[in-house]
Amino acid sequence: MNIYVLIAVVSVTIAGFSQILLKKGAMRPHKSFLDDYLNAPVITGYALMFTSVLATMFAYRGVRYMTIQIIESLGYILVPVLSYIFFKERFTRNKVIGIIIILAGIAVYNI
């Protein structure tokens, strides 16, 4: 596998986990606006998000724009799977059908 493709895949995975941490932070009881951000899950989530942005920028060096777009769309599968694992968000009919249509749309747009 092309190393840049691998970096892009790892980057999407990191971005997926960053969303989980951000949501974890968002589920804490609200104390103040600043407290919404200055806590371990959110700070770690932002750090991972930043790492993912840098990794994706790096991946663009060796992979075509279209390929990155397709790889990035894996996030639309990964995030619901992680949300199910960590938050027990259910896979409802609407979610599954909607996400399949979204993925088809991204594929049609880019390929």
Partner 1 sequence: MEQRRLKDMSRSKIFNIILLQMIVIIYTINSIIAKFATKAEPLSLEFFLFYAGEVCVLGVYAICWQQMIKRFDLSVAYANRSMAILWTALWSVLIFKESLSIKQMAGIILVVIGTVVVNLQPGSDTGEGGR
Closest CA to 11 of 44, 80, 59, 46: 59
Question: Looking only at Cα atoms, what is the longest distance across the chain?
Answer: 47
User: Which of 20, 48, 63, 71 touches partner 1 (CB under 8 A)?
Assistant: 20
Based on the shown chain and the rule CB under 8 A, indicate whether residue 99 belongs to the binding site for partner 1.
Answer: yes
Tokens, residue 106: 């991204």
Does 89 bind partner 1 (CB under 8 A)? Our answer is yes
- From candidates 10, 46, 51, 74, binder to partner 1 by CB under 8 A: 46
Instruction: Give the interface segment with partner 1, choosing from 5-13, 15-23, 58-66 (CB under 8 A).
Output: 15-23
**56 lies in the binding site for partner 1 (CB under 8 A):** no
H or E element, residue 36: none
What the block records as the tokens of 89 is 């968000």
